[in-house]
Every structure is written in structure tokens, then in C-alpha cells.
Amino acid sequence: MDGAGTPGGGGPAADKGALRAQLLRRRRALSARERSAAERALAARALTLPEIATAGTVAAYVSVGGEPGTRQLLETLRERGTRVLLPVLLGDNDLDWAVYEGPGSLLPAGRGLLEPAQPPLGPDAVLAADVVLLPGLAVDAGGMRLGRGGGSYDRVLERLERAGAEPLLVVLLYAHEVVERLPAEAHDRPVHAVVTPEGAGRFTV
């Protein structure tokens, strides 16, 4: 997938589906040792972005499956005094938010997710974030992010845009998931930066 463009042939939505399948297969092939090393490195690299290192509030998420691990980063931020908000999936796939209070405060939720036990603050709580960390499967040179297709974070980005909020938008990925070009649809919004276990980079958006 390194440097790959769009597969072509079925329009953006079909192209996204093919790319998702390819990227998820590669994630599943990673060993537990590789994932653990990547999680440690990702936490360190994220703090090289000044906006993350100095943020008062960060909206983040708990990684699951083969996603680049976020748990060490969540703990590092909390221990530094950063207010960390984690998503709570609603029935319509929108996201509510609650404060992260440590690993022991996470509870199993639907779809294999872990969610905070703290009371939800409402979907608009994300508007207070200085930085929003987004899951994804890939990002391209223009900052366009490929998500899993559920639309939850599209709603978050739309909510931020409507409110005129301007947090730093950062996607967390493996290095091979930073590619030259991705298929894009009208509702897609670019992110500002990417963090991988190898480093952090910014986009002009």
C-alpha cells in the first residue's frame, strides 16, 4: 500500500471498500509484539506535536483490534494533567463523550469497544477539545482520511465545522498507511496532521 493511489473502477465508495479490506488484512497480520512496540512509539511521537503536548483537552479514543494502540498515549496525557475525552457510541452512530479516568474506568460496550464509565457530557463536548485524535485506516498527501465507513467521525467533523471550532485534527496510523492519494467523496474533510510510530507530519489544508 506504500505510495499507492486509488484502485479505480467502481467510484469512490467502491474504491474505499477495496482499500479498507486490503488495509485491515495487513493490520491483522501484525504480531502482538509489533503492535506493542508501535503503541509505545506512537505515544512518544504524538507528544512531538506541540498542540498535543500542551493541550488542555484532547478528544481521543480507545484502540481496538489491530488499530495503532492508543492506551499508553491516553495514560500519558492523563498523567500530564490533560483532560481526555473518550467517545460513547450512540444508537444512531453519533458520538457522545465522557472523561477518561484511567484504565480501570473503561467498560465493555457494543461492537467490541471500550467506553468510559463516567457520565456522558453530550455530543457537543467535543467542541471544547484543543486536539481531536481520529481513528482511520489511511491518510493521503492532502490530509484526506479513510475511515471504517460508519460515519461517526464524519458527524464529529461536521459538528466542529458548524460550530466554528478549530481543534488540531490528527489521525493515528501505521507508517505504511500514509499514502499518495485516496478516493474522496463530497462529505470527506481533511485532517491537519498524522502521527505514526515513526514520526509526526502535518498537511496543508
The confidence score (pLDDT) of residue 12 equals 67
Binding residues: 16-20, 62, 67, 145-153
- Whether residue 79 lies inside any domain: the answer is yes
Report d(CA 197, CA 41) in Å as an integer.
5
Binding residues for substrate: 62, 67
Q: Residue 2: pLDDT above 50?
A: no
- Whether residue 195 lies inside any domain: the answer is yes
Question: Domain range for residue 169?
Answer: 11-202
Grid cell, residue 23, equals 488495509
- Whether residue 1 lies inside any domain: the answer is no
- Of residues 106, 108, 98, 112, the one with CA closest to residue 66: 112
Long-range contacts of 76-82, Cβ-Cβ distance < 8 Å, separation of 24 or more: 76/43, 76/47, 77/52, 78/102, 82/55, 82/56, 82/57, 82/58
Maximum C-alpha span of the chain: 49
Reported as a single tens digit per residue, the pLDDT across 116-162 is 999 999 999 999 999 999 999 999 999 999 998 888 999 999 999 99
Q: In sequence order, what are the residues at sequence separation of 6 or more whose Cβ sits closer than 8 angstroms to the Cβ of residue 54? A: none
Whole-structure pTM value: 0.91
Q: How many structural domains compose the chain? A: 1
For the chain, what is the mean pLDDT? 92
CATH of residue 112's domain is 3.40.50.10420
- Whether residue 3 lies inside any domain: the answer is no
Strands 57-59 and 83-89: parallel
In the 8-state DSSP scheme, what is residue 60?
-
User: What phi, psi does 45 have (nearest 5°)?
Assistant: -65, -35
Binding residues for ATP: 16-20, 145-153
The confidence score (pLDDT) of residue 7 equals 46
User: What phi, psi does 75 have (nearest 5°)?
Assistant: -65, -40
- Locus of grid cell 474533510: 189
Reported as a single tens digit per residue, the pLDDT across 170-205 is 999 999 999 999 988 878 889 999 999 999 999 986
- Of residues 197, 203, 198, 200, the one with CA closest to residue 36: 197
- Locus of grid cell 496510523: 173
